[in-house]
Amino acid sequence: MKSSPKTPSWKTLLRRSVETPKALAGRIPIDPLKIKPVTDQYPMRINPYFLELAIKAGRPILDQVVPDPRELEDSIGMDDPLAEDANSPVPQITHRYPDRVLFTVASVCAVYCRFCTRKRRVGRGKAVSVREIDDGIRYIRMTPAVRDVLVSGGDPLMLSDERLEWILRRLREIPHVETIRLGTRMPCVLPSRVTPALAKTLKKIRPLYINVHFNHPAELTPAAARACGRLSDAGAVLGNQTVLLRGVNDDASVLAGLFRGLLKIRVRPYYLLQTDLTKGTDHFRTTIETGLAIMDRLRGHVTGLALPHYVVDLPGGGGKVPLVPGYTLRKERGDWIFRNYLGAEYRYPAPAGSEP
Ligand SMILES: *Cc1c(COP(=O)(O)O)cnc(C)c1O
Ligand code: SF4
């Protein structure tokens, strides 16, 4: 194989994304006619970096991005399962919890994940306008209860460095905004986006928390590790959100490999998310019992630093709640009886003089 004199920029790679059934059929064995109705409804985008990785790694990566006719057969899911639109005081802001807001500043991504919670809008709607960004920032400025802003999308790293800096700087100037979080899948799906120039831009915004999104150990490539390292070196604190996906990562040893691998590249696992009830994604959902059994297999066996909170974001907009395997077995006259990670029972007595 001939090596190119210069590696293409992330923008060039994006332009070369596979976006039609016909183009995809040129790369992997699929019937373009079978997925055409799917892509008519939900867009496809697989950039060359992620396509190459997916072809090499096989099903767990391919399934995340290759359209599947089952997306059109889902009779359980909802367009907006988390009621993000109903909790939206101004366009692009979802204000569900007292002290923090979700601010969606981009409507596109470097791949379109088939399980995406915002499938109803990413890659489909119009771009987020400057006016909407202005209105979002004004809402945050006028709402002193907001201490934490989650800048998400789509993928906010699809914006230019200049546009991103303009948004982050204006948020940083608001006195009551204590933390800014960026939610991005770029370090995983198109790591070359994390350029030295981007790192330099982000370095000016502190404190900055970045939640990345890796779902499988095969995604932890040297390029992804470099991208994460560059963000950490710029002073950002990195966390990871993983979506629990049937056939992709619903397995304790796969997730243990992922979580330990993330720690090695200075990314702390934050959430393992039970798949939302999003229309078109039912074939990815596991049972909560599966998720609990996985967490039970990890707790105690894998360093606690590697263990995320397993959460379900409640349909209807109730927010996230933790799901924890049952370690508290019963109470005996004020004493708590536990089981440990190996299944043995232990007693924790109440303090002297406390009411039973
Ligand atoms: C997940 C989420 C948050 C952040 O929740 P944390 O538990 O603080 O990470 C905030 N707002 C919305 C709408 C969310 O969905
Ligand atoms: S990168 Fe995130 S927002 Fe974009 S399609 Fe994937 S899950 Fe959805």
**Residue pLDDT, tens place only, 60-77:** 999 999 999 999 999 899
pLDDT of residue 4: 54
Kindly state the DSSP code that residue 9 receives in the 8-state scheme: P
Structure tokens at 37: 């109705």
State pLDDT tens for residues 233-277.
999 999 999 999 999 999 999 999 999 999 999 999 999 999 999
State pLDDT tens for residues 183-231.
999 999 999 999 999 999 999 999 999 999 999 999 999 999 999 999 9
Is-catalytic flag, 113?
Answer: yes
Ordered domains of the chain (ranges, CATH): 10-66 (no CATH), 93-322 (3.20.20.70), 328-356 (no CATH)
Is-catalytic flag, 118?
Answer: yes
CB atoms within 10 A of CB 87: 17
Answer whether 50 contacts ligand 2 (Cβ < 6 A): no
- The shares of helix, strand and coil residues in the chain, as percent rounded to the nearest 5, are 35, 20, 45
User: Distance (Å, rounded) from C-alpha 50 to C-alpha 203?
Assistant: 27
From the CA of 151, which ligand is nearest?
A: 1
In the reported structure, the alpha carbon of residue 213 is separated from the centroid of ligand 2 by a whole-number distance in angstroms of: 9
Residue 1 reports pLDDT greater than 60: no
Q: What's the length of the chain?
A: 356
Is-catalytic flag, 276?
Answer: yes
From the CA of 157, which ligand is nearest?
A: 2
User: Are 57 and 92 a contacting pair, CB within 8 Å?
Assistant: no
User: Are 115 and 95 a contacting pair, CB within 8 Å?
Assistant: no
State pLDDT tens for residues 82-122.
998 899 999 999 999 999 999 999 999 999 999 999 999 99
Nearest-CA residue for ligand 2 atom 6 is: 113
In the reported structure, the alpha carbon of residue 94 is separated from the centroid of ligand 1 by a whole-number distance in angstroms of: 9
User: Distance (Å, rounded) from C-alpha 79 to C-alpha 62?
Assistant: 24
